[in-house]
């Protein structure tokens, strides 16, 4: 394969699915210019007209769900059931946006001295998104639908692993009535991406990825004074307090670690359990992980599919080995299966302490780190002892106290109490610290990519 091509590879079979030609610099510029040209007309469409297109995109996603879900599973190895659920989540985002967008983005009247004030939410222009492979549809829909609803043009540089999914999403948008070219897919290299950020027609940049990638993109965007929204990695902590419903906590925490083959920024990753519950939690948790069925992600009985690539699988295993070398103990899993496909077993690590990758870093695979805390307060201290702050959770029968601790003490952007969830169209999504900044979803997400414009009219 030449340096001017990229390929998608099936993680189950390790076979090439499709080879794509990278765009030349001129071709990439043409995609940007076409998005901007379409934006000039789209921005003048009423909020209600835009909302109608969002509704049709939801319909088109649902009618294309089976084909799209199979493509995503083939490209990245996620369970077919998870791919189907992802499509429905994306359709739900479109439904939410169509229903609430016109109201959230409507003009607001303000009282001002000796005059009349008006606040409008004008589109910015072309918004550039750099997105990862773990949710081929959702990651692109999440920023693009709110941006389009606001009247912007949108560009997508997706991970090469799911190039086919990026192109299919573009086709779905246009079949639903989105103006041709308004949503442009860029098949470009990382080096070419910097030129996109610098292009004068691009007005904002959003990235979902590692904290290292986020810093690089933010620095480049800052050098040309462009806004960024970053949703970066995390090492989400789920705390099991003294008064937790232990059976509920074990089941939810196991689900939270294995969801999407363990390759999610908001997977539950560190499990901080008080001394009172520690032994029972470990016993129950390990029992579930021992029984996890690995296999073909298209088969109904499979619980854990392959990781996205050999590189990803090898990195996960290296982090496990480094943690063990620094004192962690493997309770189940921890070895690479001898089989075709980039599989890694459901793995549990105990004796996890600072200085180990399992404690300090994000392991993007089905590896759980169980940490013992003295009591509830010590659990909160350990949870906050991280450079990350995207999501997390608390298990406690005293819900009012858990809410107060989540609100006042938990240094993270999102908190689940007595459950594990990943995203909801009406709840803001985003983090703090090295997990990034800015919000997607909800009213907050709808207003991320607008020019909040003040207009004052004299009496």
DSSP reduced 3-state for 176: coil
Long-range contacts of 414-419 (CB under 8 A, 24+ apart): 414/266, 414/390, 415/391, 416/238, 416/391, 416/392, 417/393, 418/245, 418/248, 418/252, 418/394, 419/252, 419/393
What DSSP string describes 36-56?
HHHHHHHTTS-HHHHHHHHHH
DSSP H helical ranges for 43-162: 47-63, 65-76, 80-104, 138-149
Are 7 and 18 spatial neighbours (Cβ–Cβ below 8 Å)? yes
User: Which tokens in the block code for residue 193?
Assistant: 């991406």
Q: What does the radius of gyration of the chain's CA atoms come to, in whole angstroms? A: 23
User: Residue 307 and residue 303: Cα distance in Å, rounded?
Assistant: 13
Does the active-site annotation cover 231? Answer: yes
Q: Which of 137, 162, 253, 265 is catalytic?
A: 265
Which residues have a Cβ under 8 Å from the Cβ of 41 and sit 6 or more positions away? 179
Question: In whole angstroms, how far apart are CA 261 and each of 103, 251, 295, 304, 365?
Answer: 38, 16, 11, 6, 6
User: Which tokens in the block code for residue 101?
Assistant: 């967008």
User: Residue 384 and residue 236: Cα distance in Å, rounded?
Assistant: 10
Q: Which of 231, 362, 440, 448 is catalytic?
A: 231
Task: State in Å, rounded, how far the first CA of the chain is from the last one.
Answer: 68
Which residues have a Cβ under 8 Å from the Cβ of 28 and sit 6 or more positions away? 186, 188, 192, 195, 196
User: Residue 76 and residue 133: Cα distance in Å, rounded?
Assistant: 7
Does the active-site annotation cover 265? Answer: yes
Nearest partner of 454 among 110, 42, 40, 124, judged by Cα:
110
Enzyme catalytic residues: 231, 265
């Amino acid at each position: 394969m030449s340096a001017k091509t990229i390929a998608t590879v099936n993680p189950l079979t390790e076979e090439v699915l499709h080879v794509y030609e990278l765009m030349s610099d001129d071709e990439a510029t043409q995609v940007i210019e076409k998005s901007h040209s379409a934006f000039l007309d789209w921005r003048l469409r009423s909020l209600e007209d835009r909302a109608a297109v969002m509704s049709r995109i939801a319909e088109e996603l649902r009618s294309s769900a089976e084909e799209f879900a199979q493509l995503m599973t083939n490209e990245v190895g996620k369970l077919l059931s998870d791919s189907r659920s992802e499509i429905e989540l994306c359709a739900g985002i479109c439904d939410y946006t169509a229903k609430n967008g016109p109201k959230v983005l409507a003009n607001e009247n303000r009282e001002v001295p000796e005059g009349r004030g008006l606040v409008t939410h004008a589109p910015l222009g072309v918004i550039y998104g750099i997105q990862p492979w773990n949710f081929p549809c959702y990651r692109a829909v999440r920023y693009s639908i709110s941006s389009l609803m606001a009247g912007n043009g949108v560009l997508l540089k997706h991970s090469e692993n799911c190039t086919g999914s990026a192109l299919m999403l573009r086709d779905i948008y246009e079949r639903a009535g989105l103006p041709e070219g308004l949503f442009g897919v860029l098949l470009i290299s990382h080096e070419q991406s910097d030129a996109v950020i610098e292009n004068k027609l691009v007005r904002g940049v959003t990235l979902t990825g590692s904290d290292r990638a986020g810093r690089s993109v933010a620095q480049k965007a800052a050098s040309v004074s462009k806004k960024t929204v970053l949703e970066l990695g995390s090492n989400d902590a789920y705390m099991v307090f003294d008064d937790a419903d232990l059976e509920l906590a074990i089941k939810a925490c196991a689900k939270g670690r294995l969801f999407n083959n363990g390759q999610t920024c908001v997977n539950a990753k560190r499990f901080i359990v008080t001394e009172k519950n520690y032994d029972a939690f470990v016993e129950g948790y390990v029992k579930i992980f021992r029984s996890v069925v690995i296999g073909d992600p298209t088969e109904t009985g499979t619980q854990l599919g392959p990781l996205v690539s050999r590189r990803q699988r090898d990195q996960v295993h290296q982090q496990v080995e480094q943690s063990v070398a620094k004192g962690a103990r493997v309770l189940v899993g921890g070895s690479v299966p001898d089989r075709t496909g980039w599989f890694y077993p459901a793995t549990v690590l105990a004796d996890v302490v600072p200085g180990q990758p399992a404690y300090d870093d994000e392991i993007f695979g089905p590896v759980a780190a169980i940490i013992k805390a003295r009591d509830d307060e010590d659990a909160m201290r350990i949870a906050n002892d991280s450079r990350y702050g995207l999501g997390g959770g608390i298990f406690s029968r005293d819900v009012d106290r858990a809410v107060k601790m989540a609100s006042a003490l938990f240094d993270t952007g999102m908190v689940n109490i007595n459950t594990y969830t990943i995203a909801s169209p009406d709840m803001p999504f985003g983090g703090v610290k090295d997990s990034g900044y800015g919000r997607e979803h909800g009213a907050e997400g709808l207003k991320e990519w607008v020019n909040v414009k003040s207009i004052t009219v004299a009496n």
